[in-house]
Structure 1
Amino acid sequence: MFFWWILWTFYLVAYLYIIFFVIQDLFRDEKLSGWWKALWIILLIFVPFLTGLVYVIARGKGIAQRQSEARGRVVREADDYTPAASASPAADIARAKELLDAGTISQGEFDALKSKALGNQYFGA
């Protein structure tokens, strides 16, 4: 009895994974028209196992390509947020010193800007 419960639980989780995987891939595909996406989803609702199998067979090559492109987009977007050392640290530090002398920023903010300009914002230098 327990064995069958575990087996059916595994099948349910695998089934849900396949459905969500196909839906995710459908919406990731920019070349496929909305009508085709709707048709795939309708088929996925009424004949899920067969539709999932046919989808992987018919569009398998594109699945790997779209996943690779999505992974590349995530890496590029993460790189956009990665702080980098300043191109001219001396000019940035001089500008920050002027702001400090004018009273616009505090000493702590000046230290943070100086550290960022030098490219070692993670080491607290």
Structure 2
Amino acid sequence: MPSYVFLLYGDAAAYVDGPDDDPSSWEDSMKKHSEWSAYVEASGARILGGEALLPPAEARTVRTVDDSADRLVMDGPFAEVKEALGGYYVIEAASLEAAVELAKTCPEPTVEVRPIVPTS
């Protein structure tokens, strides 16, 4: 069965760092995702993995400089954004269409569904 990554985007200003930042908001979000995970499994698809991510300000970006072996490391994102990547799922589904239908039910405002290149 093919695999897909679901990239979850949400309001960058409302980003919660984790359970210590806003416990009630975190618990509510985890409950919604737990219910959605059960729905995915009941549909015949399978969640292979996934994680919540810390806010973009915690990120580091590594770029190649002038096509050389040198790398430039920068803090955080390059520009202010309204939406930030908040997490991801790796899901096995029957088809891209089936994956998109599951993404429509995900409890996040924006879900990018990207097929994974089979390498095995």
Q: TM-score, normalised by structure 1?
A: 0.23
Look at both structures and tell me which one has the larger radius of gyration over its CA atoms: 1
Greater helix share, 1 or 2?
A: 1
Q: TM-score, normalised by structure 2?
A: 0.24
The higher relative CO (CA closer than 8 Å, separation ≥ 6) is in 2
